[in-house]
Amino acid sequence: MLLTITARRSEALTTPGDLGFLLHKHPDKVQSFGVYAGTAHVFYPEVSTESCTAAVLLEVDAVALVRGRSGRSDAFALGHYVNDRPYVASSLLAVAMGKVFRSALNGQCVGYEDLVEAPLDLTISLPAVPGEPGLVRRLFAPLGWDVQAEPIAFDSTRPQWGAAPLVRLTLTGSVRLTDALSHLYVLLPVLDEAKHYWVGRDEVDKLLRAGDQWLPWHPERDLVAHRYLAGQRALREDALSRLAEVDDRIAENVRDEAAGTDDAATPRPLVRLRHEAVLEVVRDLAPSTIADVGCGSGALLGGLLKVRGVARVIGTEVSDVALSKAATRLHVDSMTERQADRLSLLRSSLMYEDERLADLDMAILMEVIEHVDPDRLPAVVRNVFGAMHPRHVVITTPNVEYNVHYPALAAGGFRHPDHRFEWTREQFQSWARSVGSAHGYQVEFRPVGEPDGQVGPPTQMAVFSQSAPVEVSA
């Protein structure tokens, strides 16, 4: 089982050998790692001034692979031992990548942070991948890859036998290395219909964590969730409902497929309700200039641009990748000059003052604060309410009490793996009132979504408005 990753010299990667730093594997060494069912060897077939190739060779121990799996049925008696598992890229390779490239998958490389965030000219090759060419293209092409998926014949000397359910895969594109690895880490198990591991509820968190930068907007995300979670409907519904918290590209809520379900009665996705609630506040307060702070892939920006009276909309993110996705989603390249003048996409951090965001009518932090470490939240408050000091601030955040309605979260846990906390209504209201009092704002609380009589709404909202100055009589 072989995987090669080639990085070519480019404006971002002037020294191709730096691929070794990003992967945390030295080009001059052959390193071996014990992994499930075998050994993964990492080495570099090529290191030159023009390109660098890293290879992972997974040597599968066929006996270790089937040990303890006597209960599994196979098509024939020796199916445990006579199969293509040692040679075809699958969930085995994904698990090996998770071990040997853990830091690269997480985007960690001290001293090379700019290179971590830069798209690299990459070519990824896999001699044998399960699946048919059309499916492979549907999964990888939307992620920015030029996909070559060549069918593999059962026997080249017997063309009448046709093609095997395998392809020879080559991916070429300008992609961040951490994204490229996450694409393989998630999609190889999706293509593999004979996963070697048990698929339980922890796989939902793993899927959301590994695909958080691209899966929410992937056109085949329903299929990805279904196959990654081995067709388990409850797990798939949990994954899709939590993905909908991140992005609004879900056309409709995950439907109950049980017999007799009335589709017309299926509620709209919470993400839609949240957008509508925020836009209602915008229409009520009629701001002229708005910043969507932490805009992600720009899901809310399009709605803000349509509100009558809004003269300027700013979307901010720390990630150039997110801003690029926002620009694509909003079709910035085809906007008229007048439309483009109303929109600004800025790279900016919540933690630091940015004079470009001063003197605004409104700042919106929609599902943002829960992604901030609690010890860093005061810095966000000082920046938003102190330095920016807009006339209004709108903040939404999950209501953790409502999590009892999510089966996978009933016993604890957050709605998304990147959440650092989730507050009760009392905690959120106490924090908001304290912030408002300290910075001269009045606070109004609004529910988002249908409130439950016992645990409240699924999402909670605070609307901050600058307090009117106190008039002192002569």
Based on its alpha-carbon atoms, the radius of gyration of the chain, rounded to whole angstroms, reads 25
- Reported as half-sphere exposure (CB side, CA atoms, 13 A), residue 56 has a value of 29
One-letter identity of residue 161: W
Question: According to the 3-state scheme, what is the secondary structure of 165-206?
Answer: EEEEEEEEEEECHHHHHHHHHHHHHHHCCCCCCCCCCHHHHH
One-letter identity of residue 320: D
CA dihedral 179, 183, 186, 189 (to 10 degrees): -150
What are 158's two structure tokens? 């017997």
Q: Which residues pair with 163 in a beta bridge?
A: 153
pLDDT in tens, the chain (474 residues): 899 999 999 988 999 999 999 999 999 999 999 988 789 999 999 999 999 999 999 988 766 666 655 444 454 455 555 556 667 778 889 989 999 999 999 888 988 888 988 899 999 999 999 888 999 999 999 898 999 999 987 666 666 666 778 899 999 999 999 999 999 999 999 998 766 667 877 888 888 888 888 888 788 888 999 899 988 888 887 787 777 665 544 433 333 333 334 444 445 678 888 999 999 999 999 999 999 999 988 889 999 999 999 999 999 998 887 888 888 888 898 888 888 899 999 999 998 899 999 999 999 999 999 999 999 999 999 999 999 999 999 999 999 999 888 766 656 778 777 789 999 999 999 999 999 999 999 999 999 999 999 999 999 999 999 986 544 444
Give the C-alpha separation, 229 to 199, whole Å.
6
Helices (H), 252-348: 270-285, 301-305, 320-329, 337-341
Give the C-alpha separation, 381 to 372, whole Å.
11
Give the C-alpha separation, 145 to 222, whole Å.
20
Give the C-alpha separation, 413 to 234, whole Å.
17
**DSSP states along 159-174:** GGG-EEEEEEEEEEEE
Query: E-strand spans in 154-263?
Result: 163-175
